[in-house]
Structure 1
Amino acid sequence: MKARVRLLKTIGEVAAELGIETHVLRHWEQVGALTVGRDGNGYRTYNDSAIEQARTVLKLRRVGLSLPEVTAAMAPTKSAAQAIVKAKIAALEDEIVRKQQAITFLQHTAECRHRYLDSCPDCASFVRES
């Protein structure tokens, strides 16, 4: 039975695979969101685990977490990670409510029969909402 050889990838290969720039991977490593090995010459080497970690960081960034939030969400303690994720869910839900309110207001103003929005009681009602 042959031993499985783990292929290591360079920073350029991983960046191309993920569709990001190499400086992004370096930055993630610098701020502690990504752990990467080094070869004997000091070059970054990405094993399967580091590549999966980079994919996770990328996905968390794309769903709106800041790098400090990403680092916290990838914390070894589940409760710390869950707290960050739950806070982001609440923030996204609040954002959805605000955007839906904006759509409702804009739809009304687009269809409003009043010539000036400030003469429309419905528009005035929308404006007073926080």
Structure 2
Amino acid sequence: MRTIGEVAAELGVESHVLRHWEQVGALTVRRDGNGYRIYDDNALEQARTVLRLRRVGLSLPEVTAAMSPRKSAAQAIVRAKIAALESEVVHRQRAITFLQHTLDCRHRYLDECPECATFVREA
């Protein structure tokens, strides 16, 4: 059994973050007879899962849905996040290509370059 402070320190987050996760339904924590939060192994693992899902970009509502007991609901959220991340990767790759071209461009001004104009139209 761990206290909120111990779990916060172990995960590298502030205690108020864990309380917020509990408040929005992303984390379930038992209380002792005095009302103090008690983090058993299951609650700690759940908190680790929430943290990991947050770090890969899920919002708290998405985290809550992704941790749903209904596997189909959880999978739908994860699939949607994968699609969004893949789209972001494509967008960022295009940005890198454009910026790389601006470094290598032989034109003094970008608006004089037909390739730069093409990149701008595609955006």
Bin of the TM-score, shorter chain as denominator length: over 0.9
User: Which aligned pairs between 1:33-44 and structure 2 lie closer than 5 A?
Assistant: 33-44=26-37
User: Which aligned pairs between 1:64-75 and structure 2 lie closer than 5 A?
Assistant: 64-75=57-68
User: Which aligned pairs between 1:70-81 and structure 2 lie closer than 5 A?
Assistant: 70-81=63-74
Q: Does 1:9 align with 2:2?
A: yes
Equivalent-residue separation in structure 2 for 1:84 and 1:34 (angstroms): 17
- How far residue 111 of structure 1 moved from its aligned partner, in angstroms, is 1.0
Highest CA radius of gyration, 1 or 2? 1
User: Which aligned pairs between 1:48-127 and structure 2 lie closer than 5 A?
Assistant: 48-127=41-120
- How far residue 126 of structure 1 moved from its aligned partner, in angstroms, is 0.3
Equivalent-residue separation in structure 1 for 2:104 and 2:34 (angstroms): 66
Q: Which amino acid aligns with 2:114?
A: P
Give per-residue Cα distances to partners, 1:2-55, cap 9 Å, x unaligned.
xxxxxx100000000001100000000000000000011100000000000000
Equivalent-residue separation in structure 2 for 1:119 and 1:67 (angstroms): 46
4+ residue runs over 4 A deviation? none
> Percent of counterpart pairs with the same letter?
80
Q: Which amino acid aligns with 1:78?
A: K
Question: Any unmatched runs of 5+ in structure 1?
Answer: 1-7
Q: Does 1:25 align with 2:18?
A: yes
What is the aligned residue count?
123
Give per-residue Cα distances to partners, 1:79-115, cap 9 Å, x unaligned.
0000000000000000000000000000000111000
- How far residue 119 of structure 1 moved from its aligned partner, in angstroms, is 0.3
